[in-house]
Structure 1
Amino acid sequence: KSISVYYKKGLVNVLTLVDKNKFNSFYILDDDMRLITIIHEDELIMALKEYGNITLEDYIKIRNNH
């Protein structure tokens, strides 16, 4: 299942959108509705475990620096 989300949302907020019967992919959009990146459900859960409830924006910065 594909879901579009705003990049300023927190990871926990995004987790509430997960459809438990499907594998979810999140299309992360900026202020102009342009695609920044795609994050899959397993990566979202890993990010929550590792970084807590940070924003998608902060997580993308961390991910891009690794």
Structure 2
Amino acid sequence: MGMDEIGKLKTERYGSRILEQVGKYSDAVQTEELNEEQGSQNRATKRLKSKKALVVIESSDDEA
């Protein structure tokens, strides 16, 4: 089994779950940013130059 086949199998198996988790994370970040903006309207805002997103998908029956 080649690397391409392994990647395809994992994408078929976990692809929808990954997209679901990314969607949840994206919604949470947007809500958090909205709350930050509302809480800091009376003071100068300090924005980070870059926010790095980290999404972790755990699988109980992955490679052993």
The reply to whether TM is greater than 0.5 is no
Taking structure 2 as the reference length, the TM-score comes to 0.27
Report which of the two has the higher share of helix. Answer: 2
* Greater relative contact order, per chain length (Cα 8 Å cut-off, separation 6+): 2
Bigger strand share: 1
Which of the two has higher C-alpha Rg? Answer: 2
